[in-house]
Amino acid sequence: MYQEKIQAVLTREHKTKPTLIQTETYEAILNGVSLVALAKTGTGKTLAYSLPSLERVEKGQPNQLVIFAPTTELAVQIRHAINPYIAALGLSGVSLVGAGNRRRQEEVLKKKHPEVVVATPGRFFDFFSSSRIKVKQIKTLIIDEADDILEFTKMELLSSLGQNLPSSSQILLFGATDSQITKNAEELFARQFLLIDVRNRQKSQVKHYFLQVDNAHKIDFLQKMTKLDSFKGILFFDSNQTMLKVAGILGHTKTKFQLLSNDFSKGRREEALRDLALGRNKLLLATDLAARGLDIPDVTYVINYDIPSEVNTYLHRAGRTGRMNKEGHVVTLGDDHDFRDLKTLLADELEVSRVYFAGYHLSEKKPEKKKKEQAEKPTATPKPKDSKKKHKKRKNKNKGYHPHYLKVKK
């Protein structure tokens, strides 16, 4: 299906079988068609849009392929994923992100004339407004996580850019859910789009659970979850404030974790992601803005500290586990009222089951209550206390743990 040089890289990375979204969109992209492509998270969308687009790039023509990502982390992730293919084709690329060194990025644009640009909207329009990138250069414009890009940029800028592209160019909108940008694409960009939606044909190995707990015991349940078999999880919060509050409590326990917060430096966020990916850490605390679209291998659990307010938010969080058809679990914490709200929220999307702790795994089977023993066991006569040990200090007294996430400077 792909060019020989790209196929060689795919073979080396053990990606010999294309996913559904990759096979369904390949010919259309290669032929220069503008399209809206919808597929579940973790099903190979990055390579679906990038590989045929790279095959269309002409060496030596700068800024031909521009890929928009909503966050710095996702932009870096995309660039890392496509770098082997860029190199195999003898091309060059650049990442334009707000967290990066602007002067260095400008030098790359000016001296190396990269054919491939991966950017966050803010930094891209910074260089675009200063004419470092010209509209006539763009042959393919890709908006990844198109359903979320609205949260990070003004639609007027994207719409204007798309409408002013050369008529021979193409626009690719990839996402996991419908949104204003995907539903109104033809009006926004003044061109026709082909819709390719494979979501209903994609299987999922993700189980959706609800674990009943009151607010007072959520921390206890979280600690218990980290001890489940094969646990590697992301704990999601609706706000940065709640995340820091919970982190402050967990920081005084033996539970190891890290934070993914926009308040931290780029290097610190990258370290948190790398440690989770490599298994150095098993729990990552994150907000939706920080973790949008991230592809972290072998995440087995996504935990919702509270009920997400929107269906799309829930689906995006759920997409961090069970990627590439692997098994995964989404566990939402709350009380009976929360369970009713969650079922109402997801009524048209999926079913959620109650779940209970069963040793070192979760079970949908409700544990039986222990029967009271009919006869009381004879109690041994208590030994007299040694008065000398009465005031002896306990050697194993819990002195608490300092919040490690605050030890490093932001």
Quick check: 291 pLDDT over 70? Answer: no
Per-residue pLDDT tens digits for 256-276: 999 988 778 878 888 999 999
Q: Give dist(CA 329, CA 310) in Å, integer.
A: 19
Quick check: 301 pLDDT over 60? Answer: yes
Amino acid code (one letter) for 298: D
DSSP state of 325: G
Please report, for residues 138, 139, 320, the alpha-carbon distance to residue 168 in angstroms, rounded to integers and kept in the order given: 10, 7, 36
Amino acid code (one letter) for 400: G
Q: Give dist(CA 221, CA 211) in Å, integer.
A: 9
342 or 203, which is more confident: 342
Beta-bridged to residue 94, according to DSSP, are: 117
Please report, for residues 277, 313, 340, 374, the alpha-carbon distance to residue 237 in angstroms, rounded to integers and kept in the order given: 20, 11, 19, 46
Per-residue pLDDT tens digits for 110-126: 999 999 999 999 999 99
Mean pLDDT, to the nearest integer, of 368-392? Answer: 56
Nearest to 169 by CA among 189, 155, 149: 189
Helix (H) or strand (E) holding 9: helix 4-12
Quick check: 150 pLDDT over 90? Answer: no
pLDDT grade for 179, boundaries at 50, 70 and 90? confident
Looking at domain 206-365, which CATH architecture does it have?
3-Layer(aba) Sandwich (3.40)
pLDDT at 388: 52
Amino acid code (one letter) for 16: T
Q: Give dist(CA 3, CA 272) in Å, integer.
A: 36
| DSSP letters spanning 65-101 | EEEE-SSHHHHHHHHHHHHHHHHHTT--EEEE-TTS-
Q: Give dist(CA 146, CA 182) in Å, integer.
A: 7
CA 245 to chain centre: 22
- What phi-psi label fits residue 160: left (phi over 0), alpha (psi between -120 and 50 degrees) or beta? alpha
Beta-bridged to residue 284, according to DSSP, are: 234, 258
Helix (H) or strand (E) holding 144: none
Mean pLDDT, to the nearest integer, of 224-231? Answer: 95
Instruction: Give φ, ψ of 363 to 5 degrees.
Output: -135, 145
Strands (E), 144-281: 170-175, 194-197, 206-212, 233-237, 258-260
pLDDT at 401: 41
Amino acid code (one letter) for 398: N
Q: Which CATH number fits domain 4-201: 3.10.400.10, 3.40.50.300, 3.40.228.10, 2.60.120.680?
A: 3.40.50.300
Mean pLDDT, to the nearest integer, of 47-56? Answer: 98
* Tokens found for residue 135: 């509209």
403, HSE (Cβ side, Cα atoms, 13 Å): 11
Quick check: 376 pLDDT over 70? Answer: no
Mean pLDDT, to the nearest integer, of 63-76? Answer: 92
Quick check: 173 pLDDT over 70? Answer: yes
Beta-bridged to residue 96, according to DSSP, are: 119
269 or 60, which is more confident: 60
Quick check: 393 pLDDT over 90? Answer: no
CA 342 to chain centre: 21
Quick check: 390 pLDDT over 70? Answer: no
pLDDT at 399: 41
Amino acid code (one letter) for 130: S
Mean pLDDT of the chain: 88
pLDDT grade for 397, boundaries at 50, 70 and 90? very low
Angle between helices 72-88 and 266-278 (to 10 degrees): 70
Helix (H) or strand (E) holding 285: strand 283-287
pLDDT at 266: 78
Mean pLDDT, to the nearest integer, of 6-27? Answer: 95
264 or 330, which is more confident: 330
pLDDT at 119: 95
Q: Cβ of 407: how many Cβ atoms within 10 Å? A: 8
Please check whether residue 122 is in contact with residue 153, taking contact to mean a CB–CB distance below 8 angstroms.
yes
390 or 369, which is more confident: 369
pLDDT at 381: 57
Scanning the structure block, which residue is given the tokens 């260095």?
A: 104
| Helix extents (H) in 13-44 | 20-30
Q: Give dist(CA 240, CA 297) in Å, integer.
A: 24
Indicate the pairing of strand 233-237 with strand 353-354.
Answer: unpaired
Helix (H) or strand (E) holding 358: strand 356-358
Domain map of the chain by residue range? 4-201, 206-365
pLDDT grade for 402, boundaries at 50, 70 and 90? very low
pLDDT grade for 398, boundaries at 50, 70 and 90? very low
Quick check: 396 pLDDT over 50? Answer: no
Instruction: Give φ, ψ of 385 to 5 degrees.
Output: -70, 140
